[in-house]
Amino acid sequence: MPHQLEPENWVDRYADYLYNYTIVKVSDPVVAQDLISETFLAGLKSKDNFKGEASERTWLIAILKRKIIDHYRKRNSKKGKAEVRIHYNDNESEGDWLEERVEDLSDRTAEDEMENKELGLAILQCLDSINETQAAIFKKKTIEGMDTEAICNEFNITASNLWVIIYRARKSLAECLNKNWF
Amino acid sequence: MIKFKITCNESNHICDKSQYREASFWEKLKLNIHLLYCKFCREYTANNQKLTKTVKEAHLKTFPKTKKEALKEKLHQEMDK
């Protein structure tokens, strides 16, 4: 069966995923939000071009990727000339040769970050495959760190309902991650 | 009298709560006693802690709620056009 587009569900289904995807690449929350907003609108405009071969998510990501590239193009053209500054004379590293500064094995943060971002996307993708309400409640509790009581009020459930949902969500998430990540 | 023995279900429930720092001291004590003799729950607890750690390390962010609503609104307007 070919995939279909359901724009009325886009925000609930993909906003968090696309947000985490974008923020790695532009590292500015507001820009990321704008790009996603543009992506959804562009998707809506060109929804007749959707052939149903790819999933909704893949299709939206394809649009988003172009938006991100455009964003960098615009920014670069605004800047005019690229400018590279190298300070040779800061006191701390005086006397070091450039070659010595190039490779810093202790600086693994960038790479670690990247792996973590992919992990984040894997988690969100797994959450997509479980029951929608369960996923929503799990996200609120675990990612946003909302109070049990506040969530219970919002979804009109009791605390023990909530813990059953959390239990099930954690179980399915763990199974999914074991299959796809670890 | 305080009941020290708990069932596996109760133990899992306390373990879930303690992932969110919502288990009380007594609950945690009961859980730990249970874990001394229950291999199954030890496994469950270890996996659960691993999951908590994993999610934490991923530094996930959620799209701000008010922005989500605004975006939905915008999409609706576009769809009605």
The answer to whether A19 faces chain B, any CB pair under 8 Å, is: yes
Residue of A nearest to B46 (CA): A174
Contact A36, A15 (CB under 8 A): yes
What is d(CA A39, CA A42) in angstroms, rounded to the nearest whole number?
5
Say whether the ipTM exceeds 0.90. Answer: no
- Does residue B2 lie within any of the structural domains? no
How many pairs of residues across A and B have Cβ atoms under 8 Å apart? 87
CB contacts, 8 Å: A163 with chain B: 13, 16-17
**Each residue's pLDDT expressed in tens, for chain B with a length of 81 residues:** 567 789 999 999 999 999 999 999 999 999 999 999 999 999 999 999 999 999 988 888 888 888 888 888 888 888 887
Using the 8-state DSSP alphabet, how is residue A92 labeled? Answer: G
- Does residue B71 lie within any of the structural domains? yes
- Does residue B3 lie within any of the structural domains? no
Q: Do A15 and B75 count as a contact with CB atoms less than 8 A apart?
A: no
Chain B residues with CB-CB distance to A under 8 A?
Answer: 12-13, 16-17, 19-20, 22, 47-48, 51, 54-55, 57-64, 67-68, 71-72, 74-76, 78-79
Number of domains in chain B: 1
For residue B37, the distance in angstroms to the closest alpha carbon of chain A comes to: 22
Q: Domain A115-182's class?
A: mainly alpha
Predicted pLDDT of residue A95: 52
**Each residue's pLDDT expressed in tens, for chain A with a length of 182 residues:** 567 788 888 898 899 999 999 988 887 889 999 999 999 999 988 888 888 778 888 889 999 999 999 898 888 776 655 555 555 555 555 555 554 444 444 455 555 666 666 888 899 989 988 888 899 999 999 988 889 999 999 999 999 999 999 999 999 999 999 888 77
The domain spans of chain A are 1-81, 115-182
Predicted pLDDT of residue A23: 87
Predicted pLDDT of residue A100: 47
Long-range Cβ contact pairs of A106-112 (< 8 A, separation 24 or more) = none
Predicted pLDDT of residue A79: 61
Domain that holds residue B16: 8-80
Using the CB atoms, write b or e for A5-30: b if 16+ within 10 Å: bebeebbebbbbbbbbbbbebbeeee
**Model pTM score:** 0.75
Q: Which CATH number fits domain A1-81: 1.10.10.10, 3.40.50.10490, 1.20.1440.230, 1.10.1740.10?
A: 1.10.1740.10
Which of A16, A181, A122, A117 shows the shortest CA–CA distance to B58?
A117
